[in-house]
Structure 1
Amino acid sequence: MNEPIITVVLEGYNQSRALGDADDTLAALAMQDYPLDRVEVVMVGSGEQTAAWDAECAARYPFRRVTTVPCNGAHYYELKNAGASAAVGDIVAFTDSDVIPRRSWLRGIADNIGAGADVSLGPTLFGRAGAYDPDSLLMRMTSAVTWGWVYGKPRPDGLPAARGFMDHNVAMRAEVARDFRYRTEFGRIVASPLLFRSLKNAGKEIRISPDQQAVHAFWWRYWTIGLMFRYGHEVYRLRRLDGDYPDRWLVKTGILEPVLTLFWHVSLDVPKWFRLNRTLGRPAAMSVLALPAFLLVSFAARFSEMMGMYATLLSFERTRLWAEKV
């Protein structure tokens, strides 16, 4: 039987902010351990971006089809929704222009959904060519703090249950992608957890595939100021928007909420560290030995998150406008 056709939605939001290049993502997709004649790529961005992609990218790669969708003035989640609307594959996979899918990415998606998952997600690691090895201990630490919230308690098969997903490393059956879309009224923020909640409440099977690995571009300033500071704003918003969001009791602590969140999240980061390493097949002894260093990395990240939450408390509208553009 033929492999399912996978539509990869690749938007240029982060490329527009000089965080990556969609051509690098395309090159990684062309190296996948999956038949490229079963891969469609939908590239979504500004008119300027799509014109450049049409001229430079579309004819260079042996995919089943490469198509571009111009969306001038659209923000991150609007671009993803537009790409999903243009998809014709059996599976719709989402990634970003500052992400390098590893060779097994598409195979991991196809196998996971073929085994019964409605939604498939995988481990995201940090790295950057020539600077940071995604398999290094330090990059795994930053990855566990940043993306580790998607790993829940172990399932009977030993893999962690999914508690969320990252928008740059998630795939869905085509019918699911048609029926469930990112909410766009909040701009750049909070749509991913809200979509996960909708899928979960609808009874969709959401599973983690260890082979569905992707590497996200890393810069120290981007990590601390861009991501973790923004997370402080997002956590503040989600606790007030999502009735099922965990730890909502912290809302009642007033001005102490950011400080208590820091220590609470550091404590929650510890099991995330072990779950990520277990998912990647790393020895438990290594996770234990590296734990003191991991706690330092976690505290640094959560301190930035705390400051983002205080910025939201002190100047909500200004922080909201900033967060929606990061």
Structure 2
Amino acid sequence: MDYLKLVLLTVVCLMASACTAARQQASTIDASTEWRLKSLEESFLNFREEQRLQADRSLESSEAVSRKLENLEQKIASLKSGSSIMAAPEDVSADSSSVEKGWVTDLKPEDDGWVEGQKNEVSDTVKTTIQNDETQPWDTVPGPPPVVPEPKIVERKKTSVQRHKASPELSSAKALYTSGLAKYNGDDFIGARSAFEQFVKKYPKNDLVPNALYWKGETFYSQKDFAQSILAFKEVTGRYPKHDKSAAALLKIGMSYDKVGDPDNAIFYLRALIEDFPKSAPAKLARQELNRLGG
């Protein structure tokens, strides 16, 4: 009887240990799966961000090539106009010099146009030239018309009228950016995002591009599309790491990671914000978030 009890007790212990091991193994598998999902999500976000950066580089390269072609066309046009301007003064100067001086080069003493009194004048002029080596103005026989130097193309500074031509473009950029903000404030997040994307594409060198990229991320965040908001905010920090909007973008990246259930990345980006922009307003909010997350 005691032997049977001992056997039963042994079997129960073995079954309990087996159940415990199974539970531990299941917990390990769940943790491993969760970590793999997080890694895949991070890889996917990085891949999408790289795609966007490559598209922006391609757009900037094509625009640079277009600007170079326009500059070459303008230079060729200016050279053509300069050569046509040069030809006109030569003809005018030749005609005017011959009319003003009144020289007739095809008359000889035996021709009817020769005046007898001119013979004595010529001989007297020869004698005077022999006696005096000093060059006399009437000794010089008119030569070919003077060569008009090629006009130089001087690049002038922009006048106030020329500088004023850029104002319509600046006003159009400001109007497009303002319309995006108005749509965002009116909860038209899709329309606002479209306006900001159009602004960045049409005016890539404008000072408000970092702001437009940030508000584009805010449209995703407001729609609770946190994965896309992370990518949009990372575009701000990647292209403009020292801009003021990068501080706000880092805060929203950390908050977005918290929303998708990734506290480790949330803590990482909040700490990066405090380290890079310690005196900014977003850094103050980041400290509060870190206290809440225990980081």
Instruction: Quickly name the TM-score band, shorter chain normalised.
Output: under 0.3
TM-score with structure 2 setting the length: 0.26
Q: TM-score, normalised by structure 1?
A: 0.24
Structure number with higher helix proportion:
2
Higher-strand-fraction structure: 1
Q: Which has the higher contact order (CA 8 A, sep 6+)?
A: 1
